[in-house]
Amino acid sequence: MSGYRLTTVETVRERGSWAFTAREGDADREVFLVPCADEPGGKTDAGATDGEDQPVRAWINRCTHEDQRLHREEVGAVTRGGSVVCPKHGSAFDTCEGSCDNGEAAGTTLRSIDVEVRDCAVFLTDDDLTYLYEGLPDDDGDDQGSASSSHLTF
């Protein structure tokens, strides 16, 4: 058993989602983790077999409709009723299955990344990806968090 230790299940649950950047071939990939299965009122036993009801899932951080992040650095992923909601047009993707049956992205499924939970920690086990760093790459002008204001008075 191997894999890169990403974070803990507790952290993913506390924050609602957790993102990292990985390398696939010569491209960087954004990936985010979201809680599954343990959601309040959730779907813990619908067909779960072989202990495969992992409490966390990993998805490529890109809507299937357009080039839009689902997890954003400032706010994380917006989740509602067991789904991740795209901030651009509002399509909702099942956090456990990655599937979407509504809105612009209806009929599509997010690309899943293999992770495994051991001792309450989440490991990246996908052979195609190599972990690079926590968080997302800086984009041109996507981050607006540094509006500094000084209070110099004369």
Residue numbers at the binding site for ligand FES (CB under 6 A): 63, 65-66, 68, 86, 88-89, 91, 103-105
Return the number of the residue (6 or 34) whose C-beta is nearest ligand FES: 34
The answer for residues whose C-beta is within 8 angstroms of residue 78's C-beta and 6 or more apart is 84, 85, 87
Nearest distance in Å: CB 87, ligand FES: 8
For the CA atoms of the chain, what is the radius of gyration? Answer: 17
Which 3 state secondary structure label does DSSP give 105? helix
Nearest distance in Å: CB 140, ligand FES: 18
Return the number of the residue (93 or 123) whose C-beta is nearest ligand FES: 93
Answer for the pair 124, 131: CB distance below 8 angstroms, yes or no: yes
Nearest distance in Å: CB 136, ligand FES: 17
Answer for the pair 73, 136: CB distance below 8 angstroms, yes or no: yes
Return the number of the residue (61 or 91) whose C-beta is nearest ligand FES: 91
